[in-house]
Structure 1
Amino acid sequence: MCVSRNKGVNYEKFIEHFQGKTRKFERLSFVLAVFVFLGSVFCCFCIEVAMVSVPLGFEISGFDRSRTWVSQNGVFAFGFLESCSKEDEVDSFVVGIRYNLGDNEAVNVPVWSVGGGLRVSMNSTIRLSMDGRLILLDNPSGVIVWSSDTSSLGIRKASLLNNGNLVLVGIEDNVLWQSFNSPTSTLLPGQSLHFPQTLRAPSKKSTSSYYSFVIRHSGELALVWENNVTYWSNHVNLLGRVKEAILDGNGLLGLIDTSNKTVWSISSKDFDEPSPTLRRLKMDSDGNLRIYSWNHVLHEWKVGWQAVENQCDVFGSCGLYSLCGLNSSGAVCDCLYQDSVNWGTGLSTVDSGSSGCKKMVDLGNCKMNTSMMVMRQTFLYGLYPPQDVDIMLSEKACKEYCSNDTTCIAATSKNDGTGICTIKRTSFISGYGNPSVSATSFLKVCLVPQAVSARGANPHVTAKPIPTTRGGDGKNFTAAIALIVLEEAASSSVSPSERDIYMFGEMLLQIVTCKRDILSENLNHLVEKTNEEPNSEDSIISEEVERVVRIALWCMQNQPFLRPSIGEVVKVLEGTLSVDRPPLGFALRLDQMDGRVLTEVEVDSS
């Protein structure tokens, strides 16, 4: 606007006019600001406004894993997620919803997955098809490996809501399918669990997890192993009256009956804190059920409640042929039998994803008699499967009963006054032990000669000093061999407990025989020689050679648990330990350097 004083314009009135307009505008701006603020607050509770939608034909490829579909509040993201399993390089992804709380992947935990954790390759694609189905395609074949089966419902779009619920919406904006109706391992606030739905714990292996959280028809909530063993429950029995179990935003897990009343509940320890936070109920891979709360200050998840306080009370928490115990750092695992997969490394932390321990020798393959291993303050998990039985026997009679019963694998005698003896006739053996357990367990094992016991002690290598005052060539001979072994161990890039002790035994025999290739018939001859009674006229050299051959043959035993440690080998060669005569049974490995295939030959003792 161009204004001129020559036309007698009243500037005072002009300025007053616009000042009034300005004051009205300021008042209007304030009202609008309040309206926008209130709208932003109430929109947090308005699902329809908070949703972000994608049209038919939308897809995400595994090759573009960085591309995710994020909820409007930025808390949740949908797309390809790294699988818990690191064993399978091909099928190492799942498609689902996770938290989107920053760059730290540890806090961006999954809350729902397509197909219950179905693993797919990087070639796969998740797509909202033109006929209204959410489908997972295995490319390049184009095979549909999962579908929402909603082609006939008139789906027009999909939305990821601010509460983490993925919904497929119809023409009238009505929800026709939602991820909240098919929970996997997690419940989010507002999400419910109905009979016969379950929460299945994620697995670290390609096979599915053994652990589930279930709601039964009676209304009972329970943690179960393989649908056979219940190791925790809320002991509720309201047959036909319970409608659902639901987690609310305050961290309270409750059972709701048909009249919408809460009939049972537990709460997170921070449920009464005034500031709102993110929460989730998770069936974890270790078999425990926990409520987690998000700590905004520390930027991490905190456990507010867990169903099983003592992790060793979770059935089979350490895996097959294992024993769970407690120390100052928590629950730890050890092996019932002697050839642990982690033998020589000490106790390992509880990890249900591990394969547990190995069995020394199958009882059906025992070449000698069986014996009963006694374990005090130890309880073996019982009654799986149902053929395991309870009988009334004393501790001594319980042991004898299992020893004489060819179908018995193990037994547990309770010392709590009940006199119950649990006879286990199943190949599944697991348990827990600590000083507070009032039970004694018995494990049937093969009675075989061995050089190394379950705890690393060597029953056939005795701490008995051997006179070394004779001097001469014999002393120099063993000293030279001991020096070679020590140098070999020192130059190894891995610890002796990780290195196959067989190689040391092979090296010792090569030194003694001056031959590179050790044949099975030569080993047979050496075994026979070491089992002969020594003559009093044997030379010093012969005694030293026999000791070297004995420990070498122990090193070359067919069963790894029979082999001594490198420290024991050195002490035998130094003359500070004596060694028993080896049994008939060793592994023969041909030299890899000659390009021949490694083989094993077991010598039958019969």
Structure 2
Amino acid sequence: DDFAPLGRPIDDNCSYQTTYKLQANPGPHGEFSNFNPSKKNCFLTVLFLFLSTSSAQNVLRRGSSLSVEDDSDILISPDKIFSCGFYGMGQNAYWFSIWFTNSKDRTVVWMANRDRPANGRGSRVSLRRDGAMVLTDVDESIIWETNTTSTDVGRAELLDTGNLVLKDPGGKILWQSFDFPTDTLLQTSYLQRGQSCIYWPNPDFDVFGNGRTNYNSSRTAVFDEMGHFISSDHLQFSAPDTGLLRIKRRLTMDHDGNLRLYSLNNETGLWVISWQALSQLCNVHGICGINSICVNTPDPKCSCPPGYEITEPGNWNKGCKPMFNSTLSQSQQVKFVLLPHVDYWGFDLNFSASTTFDSCMKLCLGIIGVKHLAIG
């Protein structure tokens, strides 16, 4: 036949027992055999139903869910820039995440369960009847959930900004992912007191210069659509491509500890670094790992001080380990080696504004676990 079976009719007005779809086998005059014009509305209805159910949407209704086992079970923002669903990594680890749809590596910008991945079978994200969005594992245990139980949540919606929101029937936002950032700020997002913090207000100051801890829990900041970052503690910067509305950007605290602003090249799908907090990468904690020495050449080059060796060959993130017994007693002979222009800053046990070299050595020997001293 010139038609292939597709399924049963969907309404009583169609008399076929089998519905057909067209194949490229027209008759000599362009006609298709076995085609009844009076019944074409039934075929069109079935085709329309198939297309509508297979297209992605940006809304998850109350009582609906997304399954980890269905790759097409995702939300996509109206402008197609962002996707939301299960993001797999490794053999059997999945995170409920938001990512850039068209970036080459599908860059993740938010994770709900970053500390506890979900199983690749049976896991599900559900917008429950009680108003909570819940991520459950294969054994039905709850991995993550929103604090919206007993609220009038009507739907979950992924916006063009990359913000996942829960709304009531009137459109009021009751919960949003922007209030719970992980390592990335998107344009139009902000930081405020009580949220996770991803940036250090002034990288030129240490904890003593700032007079507070590394966590900026008492300030606010906003990253706007034009590419400007402004905070209440006067840290400000702008992307070189600022003012271009069609450029998609992200501000990310990278794994090496440096804060970087990225712009997406729409043609290649690759990210371009447009700003970074520390241009001298050796000033970034974590480049070379604990106990190691970093030298800008101009790229960072890692090495170990005398008496130390690399902990894991080929992986400087693990730093250096001592080649001697680190639990030395005061009765054992200890030698201090002078390392000019080296500072293990940021790991200070004690800070003294004015002291002598001998006093520092005695303090170092008297405290178990102390391996370095620095004289400024």
TM-score (normalizing by structure 1)? 0.46
CA change 1:119–1:325 in 2 (3 A) is farther
Residue identity matched to 1:266: F
Query: Which amino acid is the alignment partner of residue 143 of structure 1?
Result: S
Question: Matches of 1:316 and 1:292 in 2, distance apart?
Answer: 20
223 and 125 in structure 1: CA distance in 2 versus 1, 3 angstrom threshold = farther
Preserved CA contact (<8 Å) 1:269 1:304: yes
For the residues of structure 2 that align with 1:256 and 1:356, how far apart are their CA atoms? Answer: 36
Q: Deviations over 1:274-330 (max 9, x none)?
A: 4621011111111111111112244311111111111211234322222222224x1
- 1:335 is the counterpart of 2:304: yes
**Residue 320 of structure 2 aligns to which amino acid in structure 1?**
C
Shift of 1:342: 3.9
Distance change >3 Å, CA 390–CA 243, structure 1 → 2: closer
- Given the superposition, is the C-alpha separation of residues 339 and 162 from structure 1 closer, same or farther in structure 2, using an over 3 Å criterion? same
Summarize deviations over 1:441-500 as a string: whole Å, max 9, x none: xxxxxxxxxxxxxxxxxxxxxxxxxxxxxxxxxxxxxxxxxxxxxxxxxxxxxxxxxxxx
Letter in 1 for 2:70: D
C-alpha displacement at 1:167, in angstroms? Answer: 0.9
> Which of these residues, 249, 252, 270, is aligned with residue 225 of structure 2?
249
Give 1:149 deviation, angstroms: 2.0
Written as runs of structure 1 = structure 2, the 5 A alignment for 1:130-209 is 130-139=129-138, 141-199=139-197
Q: Quote how far apart the aligned CAs of 1:120 are.
A: 2.6
Q: Contact conserved, 1:251 with 1:291, CA < 8 A, in 2?
A: no
State the Cα deviation string for residues 521-552 of structure 1 (Å, max 9, x = none). xxxxxxxxxxxxxxxxxxxxxxxxxxxxxxxx
Name the residue aligned to 1:410: 372
Most deviating of 286-295 and 112-121: 112-121
Unaligned runs of 5+ in 1: 1-50, 200-211, 215-220, 236-241, 258-262, 415-606
Post-superposition CA distance 1:424-454 (Å, at most 9, x none): xxxxxxxxxxxxxxxxxxxxxxxxxxxxxxx
Q: Which structure has more helix as a fraction of its residues?
A: 1
Q: 1:132 to 1:384 in 2, by over 3 A?
A: same
The equivalent residue for 1:476 is none
Q: Quote the offset at 1:158 in angstroms.
A: 1.0
Give ranges in structure 2 of 5+ residues lacking alignment: 1-56, 213-217
TM-fit CA distance, 1:128? 1.4
CA change 1:144–1:400 in 2 (3 A) is closer
The answer on 1:284 being equivalent to 2:258 is no
The 1:406/1:283 distance shift into structure 2, 3 A limit, reads: closer
Offset, 1:67: 3.5
Which residue of the partner structure matches residue 110 of structure 2?
112
Q: CA RMSD in A?
A: 3.4
Which residue is equivalent to 2:125? 126
Q: Distance in 1 between matches of 2:72 and 2:325?
A: 49
Separation in 2, partners of 1:231, 1:121: 44
Structure 1 residues 275, 115: CA separation in 2 closer, same or farther (over 3 Å shift)? Answer: closer
Distance 1:72 1:398 in 2: 65
Question: Is the 8 Å Cα contact of residues 232 and 307 (structure 1) preserved in structure 2?
Answer: no
Question: Within 2, Cα distance between the matches of 1:365 and 1:392?
Answer: 24
SS in 2 for 1:312: helix
Residue 382 of structure 1: how far off its partner (Å) = 4.8
3-state DSSP class of the match of 2:69?
A: helix
Equivalent pair of 1:135/1:147 in contact (CA under 8 Å): yes
Cα distance change on mapping 1:404 and 1:129 into 2, 3 Å: closer
| Structure-2 separation of matches of 1:286 and 1:177 | 31
How do 1:221-260 and structure 2 match up within 5 A? 221=201, 230=207, 244-255=220-231
The one-letter code sitting in structure 2 at the alignment partner of 1:52 is N
Cα distance, 1:373–1:143 mapped onto 2, change above 3 Å: same
Matched, 1:358 2:321: yes
**CA deviation after TM superposition for structure 1 residue 194, in Å:** 0.5
Q: Post-superposition shift, 1:248?
A: 1.1
Structure number with greater Rg is 1
Q: Distance in 2 between matches of 1:406 and 1:232?
A: 25
Amino acid aligned to 2:238:
S
In the alignment, structure 1 residue 265 sits paired with structure 2 residue 251: no
| CA separation of 1:403 and 1:178: change in aligned 2, threshold 3 A | closer
Q: Following the alignment from structure 1 to structure 2, what is the Cα–Cα distance between the partners of residues 131 and 223?
A: 45
Aligned partner of 1:560 in structure 2 is none
What secondary structure, in the 3-state scheme, does the structure 2 residue paired with 1:355 have? Answer: strand
Cα offset for 1:118? 3.8
Residue identity over aligned pairs, in percent, reads: 25
Aligned to 1:54: 60
TM-score for the superposition, normalised by structure 2: 0.72
